[in-house]
Structure 1
């Protein structure tokens, strides 16, 4: 579990930071990476103070969350439980960090720092409690969610959708190219995410009570299933995305491969212990194809989801959660037959209700927070600062010192931004 926890921590920094940073424009890469690092700093502290208590504390409040003060600062929590606390802490961190990709290039760091603790308190901790802490969803619907299809991906994806709509489009969105500035970084980030995801998924099934089993052989078998399902679903998703790209655009791209990897990991997250190998391949392939199609919709509806958080995490999370109701099998560790294995519609109903509650809860509370910040502190940097580069405006530095001696406040960012070759209007064609 120490290894699994370290792997999940790595998923935020540096993996997600590299993945998002490479997809950003050169004048925004440091800011994008900083949003992941700040999520780790802020949410890490908040989780120890009251997040663990709200998620897994003993005093349930209406099945929605536990009393945040019961275990404040981990009081009365034995040190033998610290590894479980830190493991769950890393989940909260990456969920918050995922949201940042939807609002790249245009948000003040002060607004992001204010948003983080409020959002995890009102959205992440309650949904975590309802799904994993014995709350409303687990009590009434028995939905399977091994590592966060609802808690992490639907939650973050819905938050990204709301913020993208409330904050608005980047300057020049749909009119000028906003290509990824360094796909090498993105490919490295995707590979590290895949590596870290084994801690995410396999570590989660260890902590579903299976670690108490005396039958070590059976325990090894169950963790092996989640490990293999995670692997094979991700392979299928990458190929599905590339196939969809080839059909739609005539090219199979490196960005498509990296995005397909993440889409597969997202979709298999809730299902890794629910399906067999055939089901894992189906879940991955459907997610790869479905997410590849979904990311193009933002241009049709005019929504500036900068790095495709909605298309990958919301859509992938929904697909992975709902497909459990079709492909779940009693021969897998979850022990539940879905529709295609003779279990009827019960599992599909449970999965649908869990997804619906997560969408509604996250959407409502994110909207409240987004509007409150918009009309008080304000979300956006100035238009001039956005054009010149958010890195220099918010941090006083640029990622690449390629024009030493030219100087000027914002000049390096402007020159680098201008060097971007125009061919597409966003992260994905």
Structure 2
């Protein structure tokens, strides 16, 4: 194994770890800020380290430290302490592993050798994701059952019923997508979406199979146990459901797992239905052939983006007390962003002046595609948070009716339509 292979593997693993787990404090902060915006309030924005508040992000770090140092208490009525202890870890590991097969960019060719931009490049593709996403519910069931609490047991029963109800529709929606793509390998699926149909519309799954996209996204919300599908921990009915008896970092691990589930669902939705790392009308070959023009455009847009962002920072960081230590944050952030922008501009200019080369163009294309994937990924995460703070929790009967009476028949109908079109058109 050469140096390039080792570097690519490390980069892929780091991307998977950061997106699945490392962004959890950011997601906690972001969700609170979105909730505050929707409810017409500020949200967390005062906690600080010296002058730095980072818009309230420091509050998430404080909450994380609180969970780490709290007493990890196990109630005396717990009979199955081993299952009670490992349940959060099962949920966390399963959701974390779903990221292993997500392609962050097209294969990178360095010195004539192709390197997959996946933490775990394998042919199982979507099957790996479905397997571990489905296994995660066992951790919830174990946690609720081992708690020895009626609330925990009710939460576990609800979670298992919900998974059974919605995984069937999710799998059937996925079958219609696999008929369209002709492969279960996620990188092949993203490659397919790099083209167009009718010579103008990107071949994204959401455009080619809108019904399957809606069904899959709704089922993904149910799989992540987030509002409006959070009946497994319905606070107004069963206190906190399956994690009622948990405290400290074992409780924290359940919360991290929820955000990891949301991140994994967002990543797979982007990969299957929104082109993954593909830029509309700019596939990998087109990007590589025009990389000089793309870099020049990025250089031209860079100062504009930084100017808009720093202007937004100044607008949202006005302090009545100019002597407050937190009032100094604006100047620090503005200088930091302009410094990063100038350094990036010089680096891109030097890259163009010295010549990119074959290896350089492959790496540049990979970086652009990773950024494209991250933008789509974060937009999908935003949708998850937006829905949570917009819709009310379903009743148990409403949830079951949606799964069995609406989504399941629609997903079967979609398979019939898709198969008929493929047979008639000879695709």
Tell whether the structures are fold-level matches, with TM greater than 0.5. Answer: no
Instruction: Tell which structure's C-alpha radius of gyration is larger.
Output: 2
TM-score computed with the length of structure 2 as normaliser: 0.32
TM-score computed with the length of structure 1 as normaliser: 0.32
